[in-house]
Structure 1
């Protein structure tokens, strides 16, 4: 059975000392498009915004995203869609002075094997650890457990073979009004599925038409990505100031296709 551990985009254990530390990374996503047997390099920027030198370490792990809520979990090294074992960082262990930025090479080495013909993904972990000075100061005769305060940033890596770059396809599984009782805002839910073989980066929006006045409005929502075979639930909140009356609403997902969009239509009445 595959072991999993829930992970969020920023894992943090706070203490008063750690809260005073400040660091950042950029970008948070890497998109590689290497053919089998090829390698590729992109740069990760790690910035120390604190007031003292800090040491960082980079490692890689596989992740999966089940369900339709956009949550991810770390999975075993043998995960069939993972590429953590293809990734490396140079340097993988380094120090950054206060106010400085370190450029790190993130390299992917794609093997010349059949597994290189499918989309792969993984996550990188940039960890900052405090020194173990507290335990040393207690002396060798003192026993006990020491808590090492650390925090880590995650970035995601996606590898798409060139042959699959134009194989994007998404569909809307459902689009419904889920407003309850006397809710101040009309709430709509849309479930989207990646029905293709490539990762899709989705931009969701609504085209809202008042069928009496003819007035139209476009309502944008936050972009998101869906892995092949995955699903995602998108929540839309209509403006509270909408005039009462009947509306025709077209929910649209722009998933990066050059020719197609995914969408669904809904008619509602705002009281």
Structure 2
């Protein structure tokens, strides 16, 4: 099947369900949901993906690579490959990138990261797998483009940070109260800046201290990912109203640093 044939495709909207570390679409399953590489410059590193056909018919599958820009709310703005500064789209080799699966059959795909010798920075991209069908003669006669029709797709995040890249620096600031979305709760927002050069996983939580009784409570624990030179918005929820008093409300970020935790604090009075 030639390249021009594969390029003539029609995209359809799909819905995918993330279950644990597996991605499940209507008729196929993909695992894991994320590929994390730590290859040094000039080094090759391989990971595997499993694809399983849950449909009742033989199905063809195709891999495609895209770039993305992390958004402030934790989402991804997907873009064509090799169009962003920190792309690793050209560093991937997928074997095989096109294959068939019988009903109930599962296949292991090898994805190799080949890092150029001068690339020390973190890089990332998206890897999509999508079932495909050849267009029938009847559809072509109706004016539908000849070639291949894509029935849906699900994506895997691909992150690459050299093991020697230990430049991690995270800062949280601009902590403030915002309108609560649910009655009987308190909501606060903050901003997390990744000032380093490494994709960094963070654990965050809110620590509330009654300054009169010194009683402390921890709320809104979560884990998130931050990207170099990007700002991530974070929302903390206290699922109850606080009694009268004066409080210290601190948003804490633990990113595995050997130094002290990062935090932002405000005074909060309940009258």
* Fold agreement, TM-score > 0.5: yes
- Segments of 5+ residues of structure 2 without an aligned counterpart are 1-10, 16-23
SS at 1:222 equivalent:
strand
Residue of structure 2 equivalent to 1:29? 34
1:102, 1:51 → 2: CA distance? 16
In the alignment, the residues of structure 2 paired with residue 20 and residue 161 of structure 1 have an alpha-carbon distance, to the nearest angstrom, of: 32
Aligned to 1:127: 130
Aligned length: 250
Where do residues 230-241 of structure 1 align in structure 2 (5 Å cutoff)?
Answer: 230-240=230-240
For 2:181 and 2:36, the matched residues in 1 are separated by 44
Q: Which structure has more strand as a fraction of its residues? A: 2
Partner of 1:150: 151
CA contact (8 A) 2:207 2:250 kept: yes
Give the structure 1 partner of residue 59 of structure 2: 54
Q: CA deviation at 1:80?
A: 2.3
1:70 counterpart (54, 71, 74)? 74
Deviations 1:19-41 (A, max 9, x none): 99322222222221111211000
- TM-aligned CA distance change 1:101 to 1:184, over 3 Å: same
| Other structure's SS at 2:240 match | coil
CA 1:180/1:158 → structure 2, altered by over 3 Å: closer, same or farther?
A: closer
Q: In structure 2, what is the Cα distance between the partners aligned to 1:241 and 1:189?
A: 17
8 Å contact from structure 1 (residues 57, 128) kept in 2: yes
State the 1:160 CA deviation. 1.2
Relative to 1, partners in 2 of residues 1:144 and 1:173: Cα closer, same or farther, differing over 3 Å?
same
Counterpart for residue 97 of structure 1: 102
1:122 is displaced (CA, Å) by 1.2
Measured after TM superposition, the shift of residue 235 of structure 1 is 0.7
Is 1:20–1:50's contact at 8 Å kept on the other side of the alignment? no
Q: Quick check: 1:30–1:156 contact (8 Å CA) kept in 2?
A: yes
Q: CA RMSD in A?
A: 2.9
Structure 1: distance between partners of 2:171 and 2:178 = 20
Q: Shift of the alpha carbon at 1:239?
A: 0.8
- Per the TM alignment, residue 159 of structure 1 is displaced from its structure 2 partner at its CA by 1.4
Instruction: Compute the displacement of 1:216 (Å).
Output: 2.6
CA contact (8 A) 1:45 1:103 kept: yes
Task: Give the SS at the match of 1:257.
Answer: coil
Compared with structure 1, are the counterparts of its residues 185 and 132 closer, same or farther at alpha carbon in structure 2 (3 Å cutoff)? same
* Cα pair distance change 1:206/1:32, threshold 3 Å: same
Structure 1's 21 and 102: CA in aligned 2 closer, same or farther, altered over 3 A? same
Counterpart-to-counterpart distance in 2, 1:213 and 1:47:
57
Distance 1:25 1:256, change over 3 A: farther
State whether residues 192 and 233 of structure 2, in contact with CA within 8 Å, keep that contact through their aligned partners in structure 1.
yes
Aligned partners of 1:211 and 1:20: how far apart in 2?
50
